[in-house]
């Protein structure tokens, strides 16, 4: 059903290319500029490699590497030269692109942001990572929710980033808002390989949604990223999987959003995205539509608390060398904001 990896594109298909990009080391502005050009060149390679490709997806940390460096000198802005280069690359090659930036935040820590740019160079989706990989990552938690857009060939498209995909609520939110394809970009290393695989599959199956997922690849001399480009069909079947660990390989497949829509409408058994809000509709008209989940009601009321809350050891980033924060979510760092 993947059309030989997208070589044979159907009228209703969307061909995805997941780039297992070589993990870079970026320390200076010059490094940032050089890595920007690497990504621009890879956009062109993706287009040359497959004329049917609709969307090329780059992993989280494609531009900055895995150092967790928050130096303002190498942080990006939406109106900066890096994003401008990505927009031009998409327009020049008539292709949609998904990109990762670490974004300067004048009110606090940088955002880990994802962008989707269309084939004319317009920014269509802007997302801030909701769940930084604590205690390892220093990024500000995302504050804008999960956008869903009209993507290539009429698909409904969402983007989450790395650790986001370990929370089933994130994929459910994407599907609930209409996403037929959920992209998950990541910088994960080998210890996460198994959980990466089964969460990509469960996120797809539990929501009748295609998931398209990719990590950085190769080594920077310290970290070893795993690649693992993986496109999963809405029934949980892996359609394409980059298992070679070869850096800069592009994993491709054609997916069918029209069949996602068909399944969501016609499936009875395991139409879980519908049945979640219509419990037991065989027994009661329309099914139960209450919220029986304590964690949901507690979270909404601002009183989420685990039975073992007081015993949790890691509650900040000090174990990974970061200072314990004093600023609450939503508060601004006034000294930074004034700059």
Let me know whether 269 and 302 are in one domain: no
Q: Is residue 286 part of a domain?
A: no
Predicted model pTM: 0.96
Write out the chain's pLDDT in tens, 339 residues: 567 899 999 999 999 999 999 999 999 999 999 999 999 999 999 999 999 999 999 999 999 999 999 999 999 999 999 999 999 999 999 999 999 999 999 999 999 999 999 999 999 999 999 999 999 999 999 999 999 999 999 999 999 999 999 999 999 999 999 999 999 999 999 999 999 999 999 999 999 999 999 999 999 999 999 999 999 999 999 999 999 889 999 999 999 999 999 999 999 999 999 999 999 999 999 999 999 999 999 999 999 999 999 999 999 999 999 999 999 998 987 555 545
Same domain, 189 and 326: no
Please tell me the predicted confidence (pLDDT) of residue 333.
77
The boundaries of the domain holding residue 102 are 3-275
**236 and 331 together in one domain:** no
Q: 280 in a domain, yes or no?
A: no
Q: Which residue has the tokens 């599959």?
A: 201
Q: How many domains does the chain have?
A: 2
Specify if 183 maps to a domain. Answer: yes
309 and 222 belong to one structural domain: no
Cα–Cα–Cα angle for 172, 174, 175, rounded to 5 degrees: 65
53 and 177 within one domain = yes
Q: DSSP 3-state assignment of 8?
A: coil
Q: Within 13 Å and on the Cβ side, how many CA atoms surround 53?
A: 26
Q: What is the CA radius of gyration of the chain?
A: 20
Looking at the structure, do residues 209 and 313 belong to the same domain, yes or no? no
* Residue reference for tokens 């998950």: 184
Burial 272-305 (b: 16+ CB within 10 A, else e): ebeeeeeeeeeeeeebeeeeeeeeeeeeeeeeee
Q: Which residues are catalytic?
A: 60, 129, 162
Calculate the alpha carbon distances from 120 to 77, 222, 254, 299 in Å.
Answer: 20, 38, 22, 40
Residue 206: exposure state from Cβ atoms within 10 A (0-12, 13-18, ≥19): middle
Say yes or no: 13 and 121 in one domain.
yes
Question: Which of 275, 304, 326 is where one domain is finished?
Answer: 275
């Amino acid at each position: 059903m993947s059309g030989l990896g997208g070589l044979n594109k159907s009228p209703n298909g969307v061909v995805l290319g997941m780039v297992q990009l070589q993990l870079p080391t970026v320390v200076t502005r010059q490094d940032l500029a050089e890595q920007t050009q690497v990504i621009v060149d890879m956009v062109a390679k993706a287009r040359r490699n497959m004329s049917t490709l609709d969307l090329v997806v780059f992993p989280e940390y494609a531009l900055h590497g895995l150092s967790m460096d928050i130096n303002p000198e190498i942080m990006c802005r939406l109106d900066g030269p890096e994003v401008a280069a990505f927009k031009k690359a998409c327009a020049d090659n008539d292709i949609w692109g998904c990109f990762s930036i670490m974004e300067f935040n004048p009110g606090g820590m940088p955002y880990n942001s994802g962008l989707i740019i269309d084939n004319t160079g317009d920014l269509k989706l802007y997302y801030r990572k909701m769940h930084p990989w604590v205690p390892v990552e220093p990024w500000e938690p995302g504050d804008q929710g999960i956008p869903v857009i009209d993507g290539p060939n009429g698909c409904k498209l969402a983007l989450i980033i790395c650790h986001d995909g370990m929370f089933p609520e994130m994929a459910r939110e994407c599907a609930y808002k209409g996403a037929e394809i959920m992209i998950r970009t990541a910088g994960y290393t080998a210890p996460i390989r198994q959980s990466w695989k089964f969460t990509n599959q469960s996120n797809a199956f539990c929501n009748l949604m295609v998931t398209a997922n990719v990590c950085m690849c190769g080594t920077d001399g310290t970290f070893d990223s795993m690649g693992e480009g993986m496109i999963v069909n809405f029934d949980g079947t892996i359609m394409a999987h980059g298992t070679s660990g070869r850096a800069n390989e592009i994993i491709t497949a054609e997916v069918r959003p029209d069949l996602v829509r068909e399944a969501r409408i016609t499936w009875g058994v395991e139409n879980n995205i519908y049945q979640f809000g219509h419990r037991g509709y065989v027994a009661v008209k329309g099914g139960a539509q209450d919220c029986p989940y304590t964690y949901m009601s507690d979270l909404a009321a601002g009183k989420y608390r685990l039975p073992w809350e007081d015993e949790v050891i890691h509650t900040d980033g000090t174990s990974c060398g970061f200072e314990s924060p004093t600023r609450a979510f939503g508060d601004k760092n006034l000294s930074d904001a004034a700059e």
